[in-house]
């Protein structure tokens, strides 16, 4: 080989190296200390702001618009729910992931510098979900099904049969843990139903993500209605107190963020028995469907009891679905396509993969 040829090859290798993705680097002790300090300051400022807002904000508000009086109640609960998600749970999950995997693999870097089409979809769905625009779309698609109330059914059962199931008089933290496992039991069966042939087109939208970031948890089809009947109604019938269910949902959202993160850990015995780990959930999202899907539950105890637990976790496993998705900021075409596939499968009795 001539010297000039060798120089050309070396130049080409250097040019490729300049465009190659950065190698993953762990978080140093100094960086960890700075991140911990930043989180402590952030939480302190957030707590002070929340206390001040709750002191000033009334719980009910009435306004007259065009001669009609509009009344909005439970304002503090609404504000608390949205604020906890956006200002505490999401930043907390991003922080935990960053502390674990470093900058290169973090969701923060994906949001700011490496927005793939799949990540763009996750971001768009999250923003529209927080603006409740997807809630409106879901109500239209569900044709009133979303208005079914578990509390109404509970009251009807009590009035008709005299049966009223009430939780035991236990401390709130104990009830939160108990109802979390009750919630995950119903969620397990909801998830298995979503993977059945007829319901798969709606759930497929969640599995279409081609890479994980913490907000992939929010990539849910707006017409997905199985949780209404298999989670919300049973929990209401079982008398789950409103404040307990609020805390349970906080835990569920936090776990959802973490198990869709890039954290490549099985969390040891805790991940095998108590809370599903990110790599176990990655196996559930696997692209290779040559062997059965498992790991349906946030609490692995249900997968173990019903024979669907799979411990063959691999943090490098490719995820996604075989059907092509457009992805990107404009994701509604995929949403309507999957909605059409669901109803087509129902009416023709021929499920669409």
Under a CB-based contact definition with an 8 Å cutoff, are residues 98 and 262 in contact?
no
pLDDT at residue 17, rounded to an integer = 40
Residue 3's alpha-carbon distances to 7, 12, 123, 313, in angstroms, are 6, 14, 50, 48
Under a CB-based contact definition with an 8 Å cutoff, are residues 29 and 71 in contact?
no
Average pLDDT in the chain: 82
pLDDT digits (tens, 9 = 90+) for 310-348: 888 788 889 999 999 999 999 999 999 999 999 999 999
Average pLDDT over residues 212-220: 94
Question: What torsion, rounded to 10 degrees, do the Cα atoms 145, 232, 320, 142 define?
Answer: 10
DSSP 68-113: EEEEE--HHHHHHHHHIIIIIIHHHHHHHHHHHH-STT-HHHHHHT
Angle between helices 90-101 and 242-259 (to 10 degrees): 30
Q: Quick count: other Cβ atoms within 10 Å of Cβ 353? A: 12
Q: How far is CA 48 from the centre of its chain?
A: 28
Under a CB-based contact definition with an 8 Å cutoff, are residues 240 and 179 in contact?
yes
pLDDT at residue 145, rounded to an integer = 62
How far is it, in rounded angstroms, from Cα 242 to Cα 310? 34
Whole-model pTM above 0.85? Answer: no
Under a CB-based contact definition with an 8 Å cutoff, are residues 215 and 98 in contact?
no
Confidence of residue 165 (pLDDT cuts 50, 70, 90): confident
State which of 6-10, 42-46, 349-353 shows the largest mean pLDDT. 349-353
pLDDT at residue 146, rounded to an integer = 58
Q: Which residue has the tokens 């059409």?
A: 340
Q: Of the candidates 310, 121, 134, which has an alpha carbon nearest to the alpha carbon of residue 221?
A: 134
Domain ranges, ordered by start, for the chain: 114-348
Under a CB-based contact definition with an 8 Å cutoff, are residues 33 and 110 in contact?
no
Among 65-69, 98-102, 137-141, 157-161, the range scoring the smallest mean pLDDT is 65-69
pLDDT at residue 107, rounded to an integer = 94
Alpha helices in the chain (DSSP H): 3-19, 29-56, 75-83, 90-101, 107-112, 117-130, 133-142, 150-161, 172-194, 200-207, 226-227, 233-237, 242-259, 268-273, 278-284, 300-305, 332-348
pLDDT digits (tens, 9 = 90+) for 70-89: 555 555 566 666 677 777 88
Average pLDDT over residues 190-203: 94
């Amino acid at each position: 080989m001539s010297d000039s040829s060798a120089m050309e090859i070396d130049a080409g290798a250097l040019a490729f190296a300049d465009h190659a993705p950065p190698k993953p680097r762990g978080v140093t002790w100094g960086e960890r200390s700075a991140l911990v300090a930043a989180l402590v300051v952030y939480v302190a400022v957030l707590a002070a702001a929340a206390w001040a807002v709750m002191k000033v904000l009334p719980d009910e508000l009435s306004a007259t618009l065009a001669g009609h009086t509009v009344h909005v109640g439970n304002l503090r609960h609404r504000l608390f729910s949205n604020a906890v998600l956006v200002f505490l749970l999401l930043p907390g999950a991003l922080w935990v992931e960053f502390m674990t995997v470093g900058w290169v693999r973090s969701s923060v870097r994906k949001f700011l510098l490496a927005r793939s089409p799949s990540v763009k979809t996750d971001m768009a769905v999250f923003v529209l979900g927080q603006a409740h625009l997807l809630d409106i779309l879901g109500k239209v698609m569900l044709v009133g099904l979303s208005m079914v109330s578990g509390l109404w059914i509970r009251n009807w059962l009590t009035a008709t049969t005299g049966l009223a199931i009430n939780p035991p008089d236990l401390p709130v933290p104990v009830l939160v843990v108990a109802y979390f496992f009750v919630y995950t039991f119903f969620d397990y069966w909801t998830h298995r139903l979503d993977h059945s042939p007829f319901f798969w087109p709606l759930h497929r939208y969640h599995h279409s993500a081609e890479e994980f970031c913490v907000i992939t948890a929010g990539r849910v089809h707006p017409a997905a209605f199985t949780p209404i009947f298999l989670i919300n109604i049973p929990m209401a019938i079982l008398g789950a107190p409103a404040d307990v269910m609020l805390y349970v949902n906080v835990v569920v959202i936090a776990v959802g963020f973490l198990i869709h993160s890039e954290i490549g850990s099985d969390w040891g015995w805790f991940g095998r028995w108590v809370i599903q780990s990110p790599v176990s959930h990655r196996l559930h999202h696997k692209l290779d469907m040559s062997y059965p899907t498992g790991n349906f539950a946030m609490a692995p105890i249900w997968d173990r009891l019903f024979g669907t637990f799979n411990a063959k976790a691999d943090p490098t496993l490719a995820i996604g679905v075989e059907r092509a998705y457009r992805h990107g900021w404009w994701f509604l075409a995929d949403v309507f396509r999957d909605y059409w596939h669901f109803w087509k499968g129902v009416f023709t009795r021929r499920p669409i993969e």
